[in-house]
Amino acid sequence: MRFLALFALLLFPTFLQAQDVTGTWRTHKTERGTLIVNIAPCGASLCGKIVDARDAQGKKGTYEHMGKRMIWDMKPTSKAGKWDGGKIWDPNKDRTFKSRMELQNGSLKVSGCVLVACQSFIWMRAR
């Protein structure tokens, strides 16, 4: 019994970390490159701000949208590892979409939706 209790205590922080979406994420690669977005709490929801940008060759350079909010109003759902009800701004199109996020095996599935049609992308944790 003690062994099970100790095992559960050791495993619990790992489980919590696996469900934690806060931190720095690298967006999917586009013809313009990738963005680095920091997701953090803002009130009762989560927000994401552009903190770095790389061109298509992976070189760091100036980026006109540095520091701008890209994700906001993202709230946890009743299912662990899922957030919904938020908005995401696409800087390439300068459009805002309804959004949801889901942690999947250490990556983040980010979806932008118009009416019932959604397009999803996989983001990876930035190192």
Query: What pLDDT digit, counting tens, does each position of 94-104 carry?
Result: 999 999 999 99
Residue 19's pLDDT band, with cuts at 50, 70 and 90, is: confident
Contact 91, 106 (CB under 8 A): no
Let me know the angle formed at the C-alpha of 71 by 65 and 123, rounded to the nearest 5 degrees.
90
| Residue with more model confidence, 2 or 33 | 33
CB 32 within 8 A of CB 92: yes
What are the φ and ψ backbone dihedral angles of 19, each rounded to 5 degrees? -95, 0
User: Which is higher by pLDDT, 19 or 105?
Assistant: 105
Give me the chain's average pLDDT, please.
87
Mean pLDDT of 7-18: 39
Higher pLDDT: 17 or 124? It is 124
Q: What percent of the chain has pLDDT over 70?
A: 86
Nearest residue to 49 (alpha-carbon basis) of 89, 104, 82: 89
Question: Which pLDDT band holds residue 85 (cuts at 50, 70, 90)?
Answer: very high
Which tens digit of pLDDT belongs to each residue from 29-41?
Answer: 988 899 999 999 9
Identify whether the C-beta of residue 70 lies closer than 8 Å to the C-beta of residue 88. yes
| Domains located in the chain, CATH noted | 22-125 (2.40.128.520)
Say what the pTM is.
0.82
Predicted confidence at residue 3, as pLDDT, reads 43
